[in-house]
Amino acid sequence: MAAAAPPPPPSPAPSAISEDLLPTSHNLFSRIRLAKIADVPHIHKLIHQMAVFERLTHLFSATESSLSSTLFPPNPPQPFTSFTVFLLEVSRTPFVSIDQINPSFDPVYKTVMIDVPINDPEAELFKSGAGGGGNDIVVAGFVLFFPNYSTFLAKPGFYIEDIFVRECYRRKGFGKMLLSAVAAQAAKMGYGRVEWVVLDWNVNAIKFYEEMGAEVMKEWRVCRLTGEALQTFANVNI
């Protein structure tokens, strides 16, 4: 009878996994707050970047002065009763509470987990002076909206004129965060709806809006009188 084969040698103990191979994540802290007149230079730059993205720079004529005088006039109306701007700010360090301009709106804070730290080539250009955190707070986006009215609902609502997130901060949920802040304010005030328009070639935005529950109303068209056409029609002898 042949001798039994010797038992196999014991398996070596598994080596410790290098920490370099473990998945890592990084916190990016964000805040949405009401804009103020000192934010106009950032708002102006954001609008210009949006015009570039939308291929509409030939229509861009806003200046810091014109934005200041129309968005933040002397004795300005209360936020949410006229043109209102929410600013999105981000930081690698946590935010702390700040004194807000309007007691009816508390800043919105959210921590986002990202795999790789974001390289913002324009961080210095968009550095925020609002305080409430470290010295690395930057402006990452904005939304501008104002009241409108639905005769069918017999309720006011909000119309979003512009919503924009800078390129290096996209696809992180910040656009949804901005829209949610406007929707939450509308619901808080008992408003009936929030509306905005989207360019027909921006299929990614259209898909995003539909997934969040918005109805893209293809049967409606935007009508606009501006420039010479506005002046000409204003002088029509009715």
Tell me which of 109, 159, 169, 209 is the catalytic residue.
Answer: 209
Per the model's pLDDT, the better-predicted residue between 232 and 23 turns out to be 232
Residue 20 has pLDDT above 80, yes or no: no
Integer Cα distance of 224 and 236 in angstroms: 17
Which tens digit of pLDDT belongs to each residue from 82-111? 999 999 999 999 998 766 556 779 999 999
- pLDDT, residue 11, reads 57
- pLDDT, residue 2, reads 46
Above pLDDT 70, what percent of the chain?
87
Residue 115 has pLDDT above 80, yes or no: yes
209 is catalytic: yes
At 9, is the pLDDT very low, low, confident or very high (cuts 50, 70, 90)?
A: low
Q: What is the pTM of this model?
A: 0.87
Which overall architecture, per CATH, does domain 24-234 show? 3-Layer(aba) Sandwich (3.40)
If we measure between CA atoms, which residue out of 97, 111, 127 comes closest to residue 174? 111
User: Which one-letter amino acid corresponds to residue 8?
Assistant: P
Of 45-54, 84-93, 123-132, least confident by mean pLDDT is: 123-132
Which tens digit of pLDDT belongs to each residue from 137-165? 999 999 999 999 999 999 999 999 999 99
- pLDDT, residue 52, reads 97
Report the number of secondary-structure helices (H) and strands (E) in the chain: 5, 6
Measured at the CA of 69, the angle between CA 42 and CA 45, to 5 degrees, comes to: 20
Residue 14 has pLDDT above 80, yes or no: no
Per the model's pLDDT, the better-predicted residue between 72 and 2 turns out to be 72
Q: What does the pLDDT average to over 178-205?
A: 96
Residue 5 has pLDDT above 70, yes or no: no
